[in-house]
Amino acid sequence: MTVVGPFGLNMQDEALNADVRDGMAAVEEALLDATKSDVPFITVTAQHLLEAGGKRFRPLLVLLAAQFGDPNAPGVVPAAVVVELTHLATLYHDDVMDEAGVRRGAPSANARWDNSVAILTGDFLFSRASQVLADLGPEAVRVQAEAFERLVTGQILETAGPRQGSDPVQHYLDVISGKTGSLIAVSGRMGAMLAGADERTVEILTEYGERIGTAFQLADDVLDIASDGHESGKTPGTDLREGVPTLPVLLLRAMPADPADPDDARLRELLDGDLGDDTRHAEALRLLRGHPALERARRETLRYAYEARDLLAQLPQCPARSALEGLCDAVAVRTM
């Protein structure tokens, strides 16, 4: 049986396949255990998103990074549990902030219960992540604390918006680096560090995680505009309709208007108005798909993916490195 990870990543090597399959099974079991409470209602709410599924990208990266040391080291699976619990906790809080009604195809916790339950459930998951983390030693605690600070800072930056006179594109990249890149970077770091990899390998896999995490988020931005919905898993142009500023739109606004191009002028007019109307939304989506800003967004996404791949060249050639390279290739496929 070949493990098929997030985004269709295939791991053909039998030994790697077995290690990752067993590791992911152990992570799932530990996640179920970590989300149980003596209070039955808390167990239900804490396992709500866990049971809804998810890519488990962060635990997978922990396990792959651990291949550069001892993948069976006792701290590897708990580290994978810590990063996934942290990620799940942020989703509960994000849904409250975004007033989301659906998460992973199921009603969000705030929609099923209320905002207070969702917030407190997220807090419960953070506390459980901290309990698991405490057994991994002071260095792991420090690494996770620094990543969590970056994650929260990214969320605050997004909420506050860019400062007057600052570059909105750079602000957006800083938000992604904090909200998304930080926890994916710590996934690579924790996996390598707790498996006993050397310091340079730990640094490489940390940087790799930062870049590949940013690349996948930017790929989602491109897919929101360019895809038919099958790849992204959501209706095309959802962010556009909701007025969420993503990379293609931010790059368009940063570009000077083309007075000789009526489509450019019309697109800017549409983006400045209400896209809740289906006709206006469809027109804006069509025009943005043909605008140079979308191609620029693709190139920026690929830049992060290629930087991540280049970092891996410093590591020894092995099945785990090939799998990590496959994630970089997946970004390229997703953005074409």
- pLDDT recorded at residue 102: 59
The reported pLDDT for the residue numbered 186 is 96
51-76 b/e with 16+ CB inside 10 Å = b? ebebebbbbbbbbbbbbbbebebebb
Query: Looking at residue 129, what is its pLDDT?
Result: 94
The dihedral region occupied by 102, where left means phi > 0, alpha psi between -120 and 50, and beta the remainder, is beta
Tell me what pLDDT residue 9 has: 59
How big, in percent rounded to 5, are the helix, strand and coil portions of the chain? 75, 0, 25
Looking at residue 75, its pLDDT comes to: 96
User: What per-residue confidence (pLDDT) applies to 48?
Assistant: 80
Residues 222 and 216: their CA atoms lie apart, in Å, by: 10
| Domain 14-161+170-196 belongs in CATH node 1.10.600.10 | yes
What span, in angstroms and rounded, lies between the C-alpha atoms of 85 and 78? 10
Query: What would the CATH number be for the domain defined by 198-335?
Result: 1.10.600.10
Domain regions of the chain by residue span: 14-161+170-196, 198-335
Structure confidence at residue 4 (pLDDT): 47
pLDDT at 101: 58
- List the structure tokens of 172: 């957006």
pLDDT number for residue 168: 95
Contact between 335 and 298 under an 8 Å Cβ cutoff? The reply is yes
Q: Is the fold of 14-161+170-196 the same as that of 198-335? A: yes
pLDDT at res. 2: 45
* Digit-coded pLDDT (tens) for 296-327: 999 999 999 999 999 999 999 999 999 999 98
Residue 232: predicted pLDDT: 45
Q: In this predicted model, what pLDDT tens digit does every residue of 197-254 receive, in sequence order?
A: 999 999 999 999 999 999 989 998 998 898 765 444 457 788 888 888 899 999 999 9
Please give the average pLDDT of every successive group of 10 residues along the chain, which has 336 residues: 50 84 94 92 83 84 96 96 92 71 63 78 91 96 94 91 91 94 96 97 97 92 78 68 89 91 93 90 94 94 94 95 91 74
HSE at residue 69, side-chain half, CA atoms within 13 A, is 25
The pLDDT assigned to 240 comes to 85
